[in-house]
Structure 1
């Protein structure tokens, strides 16, 4: 046999090996009941999830009981761990996956019985398995979210593609919303681009609204500028209002001026009202500065009434002084009896 023929035969065998490997991995996961775990590289820039018991917002314990589901599952700003691997755990019942959890590899995990480990897993096979499980019929919202969050934390291009597929209109609304959330949360600029597409083009205003929130969580792009454009162009008053709200939550220094411009310029009274509410959500003294500016400027009367209301809710000395000034000015302008 010539060397060239041998290489061709090996290449042909390799071309047919990939589907078998995917099937072999799924079969390996399902071959015995109980918890099974495997590790894959963690997506860059992500704080890996774990389980926390907290007091006054401070993590007291770290670790997950897979069977009890106690504690708070998620990420913590105060967690000093820097994982480079993601540990995925699947609970197999009667040969089928019944639950999935994914945490940082350094997060302590325990179960009632020993956890079976699978070594040297190809990340793309892991994504395929989780995506297939996410689309199986089920009623629990937590099941869908746990699968999609596990996919999102994979440092694997196939993870972005899988989430993009799950965001398509052919899937249930709940699945689409969760896919968009995780695209924004963990998939960088590529994920943000997919989220923006649905935030600007989807026929369902509720889906567009959810996509705006997901976009506000995105990294790797100027998400604020993209949401600002939506606040000025979406055909739905409610969607424009929600865009203004999330702009106020993003901590961007441009927010006060841009939301104030909407108070002055949007044609919808409902949007103007929500824009003033968005100004009241700005952090530190920015909210009071913006609301006082509405009172003192040439803005619609309905906006001034809303600014008065939210300043009254503040109750700070500066807000109350602004209210006193308005009342004094109104009293001086009233005709004497």
Structure 2
């Protein structure tokens, strides 16, 4: 009986950390070694992936059809290449988990796409090679993703990398998002980091958002930061939005603060707007 319990426990761990269910792929498993820069490389189009522990306990990042999870087509087209495996390569996981599959499409040794799905989500690799890396540390993942943001050939890659960082449960993910929001040279990357910071509770996230409103040189980034404030819990958001509407010198930013105060329908926000209008 004890052996059966141990076997069941081991199977449960494998289902949570093992590869996702991948069809239509030339599947390969490799152990993490050294660094991701040297391992996520291929001249031919190839998908790479690994598992991370997510901030969401019951992760449902998947492709849905009539309320049911279905295969996510990584290549967005039905295609089967010679040597591709049509059947799934791993166990089909029927329930959400706190594990996420972070995926990279690589061609000519450059990352062209970054995606993240629940580990329980079935994938279709479109006939391409699919390399699953085991044992990737969270720190290595976050460091690699930060490098992609800086060197990203497109906003799409940067957006995917920022989202993937935001999904990490590891505390260093917050440091990476804050650093991107404060120092990335691309305004769009700073905007995206501010947006995903709203999903990270705590004073550091809130202070980074208010800091961007005060100090970022780009008006669009400031406006995105105001939106990020509006997404915080109302107990935090409304007083901070009122302060922005009251004291911010940039009229476009003040306008955004008033807009989101109106959308909040919070009595404190309505009282402030009435106060301004009746002066």
TM-score, length basis structure 1 = 0.61
- Partner residue in 2 for 1:25: 36
| Whole-Å separation in 1 of the counterparts to 2:76 and 2:231 | 30
Higher strand residue share: 2
Contact 2:191 2:221 in 1 (8 A): yes
The structure 1 segments of at least 4 consecutive aligned residues displaced by more than 4 Å after TM superposition are 44-48
Q: Are 1:128 and 2:143 matched, yes or no? A: yes
- Partner residue in 1 for 2:75: 67
**Closer, same or farther: CA 129–40 of 1 in aligned 2, 3 Å:** same
**Closer, same or farther: CA 220–175 of 1 in aligned 2, 3 Å:** same
SS at match of 1:254: helix
- Partner residue in 1 for 2:226: 212
Unaligned runs of 5+ in 2: 1-31, 79-93
TM-score, length basis structure 2 = 0.72
Higher relative contact order (CA 8 A, sep 6+): 2
Unaligned runs of 5+ in 1: 1-20, 71-79, 266-337
Alignment of 1:103-252 (within 5 A): 103-113=117-127, 115-138=130-153, 140-169=154-183, 171-184=185-198, 186-189=199-202, 190-219=204-233, 222-252=236-266
Higher helix residue share: 1
| Whole-Å separation in 1 of the counterparts to 2:97 and 2:267 | 32
Contact 1:181 1:214 in 2 (8 A): yes
**Closer, same or farther: CA 83–202 of 1 in aligned 2, 3 Å:** same
**Closer, same or farther: CA 137–38 of 1 in aligned 2, 3 Å:** closer
SS at match of 2:103: strand
Q: Are 1:42 and 2:54 matched, yes or no? A: yes
**Closer, same or farther: CA 207–67 of 1 in aligned 2, 3 Å:** same
Shift of 1:206: 2.9
Shift of 1:142: 2.1
Shift of 1:40: 0.7
Deviations for 1:223-282, whole angstroms, at most 9, x for unmatched residues?
Answer: 2221121111101222112101112233534332222222224xxxxxxxxxxxxxxxxx
| Whole-Å separation in 1 of the counterparts to 2:277 and 2:236 | 23
Contact 1:188 1:219 in 2 (8 A): no
Q: How many residues align structurally?
A: 230
Shift of 1:210: 1.3
